[in-house]
């Protein structure tokens, strides 16, 4: 378990022409804009994404987004807290290549036979991809403007994907086993200040991308309640 990797508690929201002004009004500070190029990988029969595991290469580095124990914690909350939690997701972003390789191998192979050494992988060595039959199923570029509400510890990202989808994200990082309810409350309060309405989860970039470009993959993930 990578207990040192923080958990990302996130709520997506729809942006409009007033979003940036609203952010400035509530005291959010723009901390920069950057382009992000993502390539996502899975087996042809979706071993990883059907487990809600998202393997990607971002700016030359491997990342694996996995659901966390925190995700199931949210299901145990009641009342107002469960309403706040229903709009949020909890994932851990693993960036250590040996750990990514181990988790991906475990998810793809049911048995432990011929699991390879965890050491000796470099970011450039991609032989493990073909060994595990991993292929790129999604690739896109995002222009991301990031803001921060420093005192609250909330980060806000405004994403514009190159396939024409615009989405915002409120994010709080907590250590594994950290105070999930406090994180949800920070997100709820920020959403309220921004005047966000609606009790439906807003679609992420991947949802829109797969629906348009990979309808079979999309249908499979929908039917298994991953998206």
213 sits near ligand V4E (criterion: CB under 6 A)? no
Tell me which of 107, 204, 217, 218 binds ligand V4E, using CB under 6 A: 204
Residue partners of 62: CB distance under 8 A and separation at least 6 = 55, 56, 95, 97, 100, 123
DSSP state of 117: P
Tell me which of 96, 105, 201, 213 binds ligand V4E, using CB under 6 A: 201
Q: How far is the CB of 63 from ligand V4E (least distance, A)?
A: 7
Distance CA 2, CA 99 (A): 8
Question: Quick one: 32 or 113, whose CB is closer to ligand V4E?
Answer: 32
Give how far the C-alpha of residue 99 lies from the chain's centroid of Cα atoms, to the nearest Å: 18
42 sits near ligand V4E (criterion: CB under 6 A)? no
With contacts defined by CB under 6 A, name the span among 70-78, 104-112, 187-195, 202-210 that binds ligand V4E: 202-210
Which of 160, 178, 167 has its CA nearest to residue 6? 178
Distance CA 57, CA 84 (A): 31
SS3 at position 195: coil
Q: At what angle do helices 79-86 and 180-193 cross, to 10 degrees?
A: 70
Q: How far is the CB of 120 from ligand V4E (least distance, A)?
A: 27
68 sits near ligand V4E (criterion: CB under 6 A)? no
The DSSP element (H or E) to which 55 belongs, if any, is strand 54-58
140 sits near ligand V4E (criterion: CB under 6 A)? no
12 sits near ligand V4E (criterion: CB under 6 A)? yes
Question: Quick one: 189 or 203, whose CB is closer to ligand V4E?
Answer: 203
Tell me which of 65, 166, 211, 214 binds ligand V4E, using CB under 6 A: 65
CA angle (137, 141, 146) in 5-degree steps: 130
Compute how many residues bind ligand V4E; rule: CB under 6 A.
13
15 sits near ligand V4E (criterion: CB under 6 A)? no
Q: List residues binding ligand V4E (CB under 6 A).
A: 10, 12, 54, 65, 89, 91, 93, 169, 201, 204-206, 227
């Amino acid at each position: 378990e990578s207990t040192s990797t923080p958990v990302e508690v996130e709520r997506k929201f729809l942006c409009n022409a007033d979003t940036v002004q609203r952010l400035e009004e509530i005291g959010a500070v723009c901390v920069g804009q950057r382009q992000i190029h993502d390539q996502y990988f899975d087996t042809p029969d979706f071993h990883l994404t059907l487990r809600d595991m998202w393997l990607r290469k971002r700016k030359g580095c491997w990342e694996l987004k996995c659901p966390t124990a925190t995700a199931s914690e949210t299901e145990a909350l009641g009342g107002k807290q469960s309403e706040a939690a229903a709009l949020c997701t909890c994932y851990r972003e693993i960036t250590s290549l040996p750990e990514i390789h181990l988790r991906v191998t475990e998810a793809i192979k049911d048995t432990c036979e011929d699991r390879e050494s965890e050491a000796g992988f470099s970011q450039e060595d991609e032989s493990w991809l073909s060994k595990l039959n991993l292929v790129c199923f999604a690739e896109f570029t995002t222009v991301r403007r990031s803001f921060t509400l420093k005192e609250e510890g909330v980060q806000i990202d405004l994403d514009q994907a190159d396939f024409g989808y615009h989405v915002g994200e409120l994010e709080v990082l907590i250590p594994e086993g950290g105070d999930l309810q406090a994180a949800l409350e920070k997100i709820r309060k920020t959403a309220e200040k921004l005047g966000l309405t609606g009790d439906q989860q807003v679609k992420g970039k991947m949802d829109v991308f797969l629906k348009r470009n990979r309808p079979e993959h999309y249908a499979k993930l929908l039917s298994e309640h991953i998206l």
